[in-house]
Chain A
């Protein structure tokens, strides 16, 4: 059952993308596309690219080289869209908190530049797992993209936790799914690109990647389509506090 091109293999390759296309359609129907245009584009284009790669894989007339070219194209588009989705989620989050929006944008820009440098450095030192540059290049690109993506997602979660911000349900769900997928894929691609595992292990990693992605699509379906539970209200006035006094003192201290 855990063989390449088995029924389970085909299901795990195609089904999450079909679900993602359905999600994209429902997002568009419910008007969520205006709030999350990058995620809508990601859902539609990424799923279409993956299905195209699957069709190229199973169609005998498509050569191996052309299959890898299709995969490359899909990978480049998907990577760009994922970064747009991360940016979109961060903007949605910071728009609610103007007091720290500037700091957040400065930090994410600086971290993004550092991650690009780090990922490029790691790629430069990687052994490469194939004599064909088209294949090893694709694996290194996967690793590079997942390093940057994972770093940015980890930063966003840490930033939110440090400042005790509240996620809106949609942003949280989108980033949670993307986070689980990117950390799992980073681990497997790092091993594939640097440790030259056997063909059997690669096949198992492919199953793990596809199963994780399937799970993440369910996470997106849940958070984007199932409404949040309404909790009982218990209105109370905010407590007295001396935050303004402390801010004055700390700003004076920072200016010394």
Chain B
């Protein structure tokens, strides 16, 4: 009986989500534009927050407890930046898709590029947030998720390279890593 109730509730929730998505899709199509606003964010400040040299400096000059506290604050700030970047990417993805749907030959290539860059950024932001949350739990560990994420990135790099060979119009993002 409990199983029946749990599965029925799960099914009802699922149905609401699917119908909600259907309604929002129709609204999106009728509005034909994004409702969000792009928030400006400082790349230099972000770079400073994630700089390993800064972490090393703080680790050397602070007690372990103080370092963990400062590190957590820096991670939270980093997460805020990443969330805003992900939000911006969502808006730009929608903007690009509107341009793609209109099919104007003069804007389609740029729109395609915008959508691809936006999707990559959203994916990277999700992985980065995952990495940040792990580091928040264990701030003195370095970044525990690195091997997993690097493995994923290598895999992804191969896929992107293959994609590039199959379709030269698709950029090889991994080659842009400094």
Contact surface of A with B, Cβ cutoff 8 Å: 97-103, 122, 125-126, 143, 147, 150, 153-154, 157-158, 160-167, 172, 176, 179-180, 183-184, 186-187, 190-191, 193-195, 231, 233-239, 241-256
Contact = CB atoms under 8 A, between A and B. Distances in A.
Contacts of A187: 7-8, 11-12
A248 B177 contact: yes
Task: Give the 7 A-B residue pairs with the shortest CB-CB distance, closest first.
Answer: A190-B7, A243-B117, A187-B11, A183-B15, A250-B124, A194-B4, A235-B104
A231 B7 CA distance: 41
29 contacts: A98-B170, A99-B115, A99-B123, A100-B120, A100-B122, A101-B159, A103-B123, A163-B123, A180-B15, A186-B8, A190-B4, A190-B11, A194-B1, A194-B7, A195-B4, A231-B29, A231-B32, A235-B99, A236-B99, A241-B88, A245-B43, A246-B85, A246-B89, A248-B177, A250-B127, A253-B50, A254-B150, A254-B153, A256-B146
B143 A154 contact: no
**Residue among B15, B107, B113, B131 with most chain A CB within 10 A:** B15
Given A184-B11, A235-B104, A254-B150, A97 B119 contact: yes
Contacts of A176: 18, 22
A135 to B, nearest CB: 17
Tell me the interface secondary structure of chain B in the complex.
Answer: helix
Given A235-B102, A254-B150, A247 B114 contact: no
A239 B92 contact: yes
A254 B128 contact: yes
B152 to A, nearest CB: 8
B173 A251 contact: yes
B136 interface: no
Given A190-B8, A195-B4, A251-B153, A236 B107 contact: yes
A191 B110 contact: no
Contacts of B111: 238
B17 interface: yes
A251 B177 contact: yes
Given A236-B99, A241-B92, A252-B177, A194 B3 contact: yes
A252 to B, nearest CB: 6
Given A246-B121, A255-B150, A195 B7 contact: no
B106 to A, nearest CB: 7
A237 B106 CA distance: 8
Interface of B: 1, 3-4, 7-8, 10-12, 14-15, 17-19, 21-22, 24-25, 29, 32, 38, 43, 46-47, 50, 52, 82, 85, 88-90, 92-97, 99, 101-102, 104, 106-107, 110-111, 113-125, 127-128, 131, 143, 146, 149-150, 153, 155-156, 159-160, 163, 167, 170, 173-174, 176-178
A164 to B, nearest CB: 5
A246 B43 contact: yes
A161 B90 CA distance: 10
A106 to B, nearest CB: 8
Contacts of B47: 249
B59 to A, nearest CB: 14
B163 to A, nearest CB: 5
A207 B128 CA distance: 49
A154 B17 contact: yes
A184 B111 CA distance: 39
Nearest to B116: A99
Contacts of A244: 117, 176
Contacts of B150: 254-255
A256 B143 contact: yes
Contacts of A183: 11-12, 14-15, 18
Contacts of B3: 122, 125-126, 190, 194
